[in-house]
Amino acid sequence: MNKKEVEARITELRKLLERHRVLYHVYDKPEISDEVYDSLMRELENLEKNNPEFYSSLSPTVRIGGDTIDHFEKVIHEVKQWSFDNVFNFQELLDWEDRNLTILKKENIKETPTYVAEMKIDGLKVVLTYENGNFVRAATRGNGEIGEDITENIKTVKSIPLVLPEKISITVVGEAWMKKKDLERINKEREKDGLALYANTRNLAAGTLRQLDPKIVATRNIQIYAYDIEQLRLRDTEHSSAKCKTQEEELELLSKFGFLVNKDRKVCKNLKEAQIFYEKWIEKRHTEDYGIDGLVIKINERYLWDELGHTAKCPRGGIAYKFPAEVVATKLLGITVQVGRTGAITPVAELAPVLLAGSTVSRATLHNEDEIKRLDVRVGDTVSLRKAGDVIPEIFDVIKDLRPKNAKAFVMPTNCPSCDSKLSRIQIGKELSAALYCLNKSCPAQHLEGLIHFVSKKGMNIDGLGERIIETFHDIGLITDASSIYKLKKEDIEGLEGFGEKSAINIIASIENSRTVPLHRFLYSLGIRHVGEQTAKDIAKHFSNLKEISEAQVEKLSEIEGVGEKVADALVSYFANSSNQKLLARLIPNLKVTSEKVITDGKLFNKTFVITGTLPSLSRDEAKELIEKNGGKVTTSVSKSTNYLLAGIGGGSKRDDAIKFDIKIISEEDLKKLIA
């Protein structure tokens, strides 16, 4: 064949293979055998290999996986990737509807919504971008605003098109998942190789998409169900005058475009029909080859969805209706106690390992002595275990008919298991605490937990010092308190068992990077009782430095929004303690704690901003810093109290909300003029 004939053959094969990909993976109606498909694919591979000038990144052959990559680039989402709020029973579902109807009534909208009930697949959210009909990018959800570029991995997924049948630009959201039989297959292979097994299909899907080698991804048989069109910029096509009026129409359009769409869904006239569908799937979910942890109930009418908008965290037009937590029975082998950084003593159930909601569970908290008495749980009992919200393992019942004669009642210790100090309940407000506390501030267990808290991400963020390393350094006396962390040298570490020069250099670099820290993070890192992350931020906004906080009286601290008398008392007590004063005297000279005092005279004082889209020259953090330096405040969602929406390229729903609330939309250039 001459070059022209080769090019024509390659084009023909690509179209043919794409057509049969859709028939097989999307419609489950193959017209040719696997063997024929494979032979056509091999022909295309050979033609492309011998004629590299006709290479296309959108060829079906790229699905076999490209070159290994070193890391995943960050991607700024054009539209914020929201997550749905959860409900756990029918009454909560009805309450959600009532809230929405109240909002619609205020807008003089009397139409009663219908609903689409879709499967809540236990997988990983992915965002797929197409330009002029060609697949150009795939990203993870990330934090909702910034995800990771997984384009090369997603190219290997056969259940999505690389080229659309229309020349459109579109952003599609889907769920990446894996079949249970593929989990079994891959775990068998890993077991032979002596590797750790994946606990469930979701972990496998997440681990697969984070592979740096797309060739490995290509062997895993990842699937993607498309379920949402976030942006659809239509050209002159047969769809150019069409806008999906309902969620069901949107799903049908996705299927027409060649995406795999889950057929296990139902359009419901009301929530009673949705409840019947839900109850049917509580049992049926176990027969499917994919993990399901509930339904997503969505308002079908798109204009009602748009009218309802979003809360600060989630869209109002949809809700995740979680299935009841799975319940299993297992044996209570023992009860141990843990000492927390504040001295709280927590009993922990040691269980015979059991598979619960897809994960192996061998421990569960028993909270406190009162909870043990309420359950009347004894060592040797068979207990009922569930995951609250499908997340946290908890014992909620004891099967007393199976109680052995030698079952032993558990007695809470009277002394600390770490330092042997007397345990006692402490005064919290007008009542005594439910938990027992070790009041010895020199308790080794408290000390260790305090160090782990100090270096945590929300604290000093010393990512080179994980829990195990902290414990090792603490046990051998290399770290005695928080201040000693900043005296560590490379030579102290590299000679230790399990550490070398490279790991020592990395740890020291992490420590050095933490020396400059915002006031709120430093305050949080101290582990003061009742001072969580948000409380630390609230306090830091009202003071220039730690000295001002340490000298503040209860009355002044209590005036801060979000800080009550209980927190104020804890702060005053902490800074009055001589041991804490000595620690801070050793620690502070090693650090640069930056001020976060609220500016009251800037050009943007008392103005609230929301930032959306990609700005021409400023990152979001830089824009936020610029606004706050000039006295403004930055929030994450648009409301009636927002003064300005700072908008770059993209923006999605925030721009729509700003128009709805008649909020001024400004550019980066406008912002700079405001502060000039």
Catalytic residue among 120, 155, 158, 298: 120
Token digits of residue 235 = 């050209």
What is the C-alpha separation between 147 and 124, in angstroms, rounded?
A: 12
| Closest residue by Cα to residue 13 from 52, 50, 41, 51 | 41
Residues 6+ apart with CB under 8 A from 347: 335, 336, 337, 365, 366, 367, 368, 369, 372, 410, 412
| Closest residue by Cα to residue 261 from 124, 160, 128, 182 | 160
Phi, psi for 513 (deg, rounded to 5)? -65, -20
Phi, psi for 36 (deg, rounded to 5)? -65, -45
What is the C-alpha separation between 455 and 472, in angstroms, rounded?
A: 14
| Closest residue by Cα to residue 388 from 423, 410, 364, 368 | 364
Please spell the DSSP secondary structure of 161-189, one letter per residue.
-SB-SS--EEEEEEEEE--HHHHHHHHHH
Would you call 120 a catalytic residue per the annotation?
yes
Please spell the DSSP secondary structure of 492-557, one letter per residue.
HHHTSTT--HHHHHHHHHHHHHTSEEEHHHHHHHTT-TT--HHHHHHHHTT-SSHHHHHH--HHHH
**H or E element: which one contains 565?**
helix 565-576
Token digits of residue 484 = 């000693």
Q: Rounded to 10 degrees, what is the CA torsion of 409, 412, 415, 418? A: 100
| Closest residue by Cα to residue 430 from 632, 528, 633, 566 | 566
Token digits of residue 300 = 């079908």
Q: Where are the beta strands (DSSP E) in 196-271?
A: 223-233, 265-268
Identify whether the C-beta of residue 520 lies closer than 8 Å to the C-beta of residue 539: yes
Token digits of residue 91 = 């009454």
What is the C-alpha separation between 671 and 666, in angstroms, rounded?
A: 7
Q: Which residues are catalytic?
A: 120
